[in-house]
């Protein structure tokens, strides 16, 4: 319970206890009727613009602002899951849901459990940014528990590992339609739209062949880059595409091979999230963090902040850590 809230409640309840304790039964009944009338007036007042503003301020002052904003955030929710040095992002909008990557094979159950806790029993889209094991590994296990209406991926599918083979087998068994995405294509998710910006070339490596997706929902925009590295970043900048975004899912877990200063400045995110965990690579590296700081981004990390939930209600964004 937020600090100060219990004292506020005591201040309201204790005088009532004293009054009710000093009245006969008939007086107590009359006091209850009066209290009911007061509460009724408060409820009616709370739905007026003035009342709504006052109660919102009271909630904020009492420490309930995050919960209030989340309840009102039906436009869009972006969940960045803590799956170590891997990626798993859940997108929700107006009753629709999409999963972008699903961590490693060891993360499959963790991701599925998280979706169940969020009330997700079906996915409109299951999306894989590229076929690396730390992005595709857990997808088969998730889809074995939570069905998807459509599977989306880029054209690059070279050197697939066992995880990709298991996923393709499951998709075939379940009859899940697949769609290969190319730059310029878009699809809808509730009131949000996602547009494919990259990859712009047929690169030789898996990371640069990551799908680059830009989400737009009213005035809010987000950019998801998979493990895109400097070569693909440079080509994307040269293309003149609008990559500016309020929210950036930092590429390649904060590796120095991604997120150059030029790229960070072009995106100019207010919020940036690094999905990362302890390993021998010591990620995230200082170079991308410095580039994001110079671009004015507030950086969060799953290794420090746990699961992260970003809720957009059409006007503002609220952040819930360790969701």
The answer to whether the CB of 103 falls within 8 A of the CB of 88 is yes
Whole-angstrom CA distances from 30 to 25, 26, 42, 101 are 9, 6, 19, 61
Confidence category of residue 282, pLDDT binned at 50, 70, 90: confident
Q: What percent of the chain has pLDDT over 90?
A: 71
| β-bridge mates for residue 258, sequence order | none
Mean pLDDT of the chain: 84
The ranges of the chain annotated as CATH 3.60.15.10 are 74-321
Please write the tens of the pLDDT for every residue from 18-45. 444 444 555 556 665 666 665 655 545 4
| β-bridge mates for residue 89, sequence order | 80, 100
Q: Which fold has domain 74-321?
A: Metallo-beta-lactamase; Chain A (3.60.15)
pLDDT of 158 over the 50 cut: yes
Q: What percent of the chain has pLDDT over 70?
A: 76
pLDDT of 1 over the 70 cut: no
pLDDT of 8 over the 60 cut: no
Rounded Cα–Cα distance for residues 229 and 255 (Å): 9
Q: How far apart are the first and last CA of the chain?
A: 16
Contacts 24+ apart (CB under 8 A), 178-183: 178/150, 178/151, 178/152, 178/153, 179/150, 179/151, 179/152, 179/153, 180/153, 180/154, 180/155, 181/152, 181/153, 181/154, 181/155, 181/211, 182/154, 182/155
pLDDT of 197 over the 80 cut: yes
Please write the tens of the pLDDT for every residue from 90-147. 999 999 999 999 999 999 999 999 999 999 999 999 999 999 999 999 999 999 999 9
Confidence category of residue 277, pLDDT binned at 50, 70, 90: confident
Which strand (E) or helix (H) includes residue 109? helix 108-117
Rounded Cα–Cα distance for residues 290 and 104 (Å): 28
Backbone angles phi, psi at 300, to 5 degrees: -120, 155
Q: E strands, 74-230, where?
A: 76-80, 88-93, 96-102, 125-128, 151-154, 178-181, 186-189, 192-198, 212-217, 220-224
Q: Which residue has the tokens 């798993």?
A: 88
Rounded Cα–Cα distance for residues 56 and 178 (Å): 45
Q: Which residue has the tokens 């169940």?
A: 116
Please write the tens of the pLDDT for every residue from 40-86. 555 454 444 444 444 444 433 433 344 444 444 458 999 999 999 99
The 3 state secondary structure assigned to 6-57 is: HHHHHHHHHHHHHHHHCCCHHHHHHHHHHHHHHHHHHHHHHCCHHHHHHHHH
């Amino acid at each position: 319970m937020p600090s100060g809230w219990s004292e506020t409640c005591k201040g309201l309840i204790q005088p009532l206890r004293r009054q009710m304790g000093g009245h006969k039964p008939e007086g107590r009944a009359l006091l209850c009727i009066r209290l009911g009338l007061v509460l009724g007036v408060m409820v009616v007042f709370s739905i007026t613009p003035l009342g709504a503003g006052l109660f919102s301020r009271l909630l904020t002052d009492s420490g309930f602002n995050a919960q209030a904003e989340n309840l009102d955030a039906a436009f869009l929710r972006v969940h960045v899951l803590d799956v170590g040095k891997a990626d798993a992002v859940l997108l929700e909008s107006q009753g629709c849901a999409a999963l972008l990557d699903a961590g490693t094979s060891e993360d499959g159950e963790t991701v599925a459990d998280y979706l169940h806790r969020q009330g997700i029993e079906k996915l409109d889209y299951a999306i894989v940014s590229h076929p690396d094991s730390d992005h595709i590994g857990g997808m088969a296990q998730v889809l074995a528990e939570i069905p998807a209406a459509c599977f989306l991926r880029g054209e690059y599918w070279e050197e697939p590992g066992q995880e990709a083979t298991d996923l393709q087998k499951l998709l075939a068994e379940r009859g899940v339609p697949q769609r290969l995405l190319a730059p310029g294509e878009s699809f809808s998710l509730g009131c949000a739209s996602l547009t494919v910006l990259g990859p712009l070339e047929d690169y030789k490596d898996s990371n640069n062949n990551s799908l680059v997706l830009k989400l737009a929902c009213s005035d809010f925009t987000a950019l998801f880059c998979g493990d895109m590295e400097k070569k693909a970043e440079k080509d994307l900048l040269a293309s003149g595409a609008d990559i500016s975004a309020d929210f950036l899912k930092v590429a390649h877990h904060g590796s120095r091979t991604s997120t150059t200063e030029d790229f960070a400045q072009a995106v100019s995110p207010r919020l940036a999230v690094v999905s990362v965990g302890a390993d021998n690579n010591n990620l995230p590296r200082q170079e991308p963090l410095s580039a994001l700081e110079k671009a004015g981004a507030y950086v969060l990390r799953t290794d420090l902040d746990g699961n992260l939930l970003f809720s957009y209600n059409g006007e503002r964004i609220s952040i819930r850590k360790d969701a």
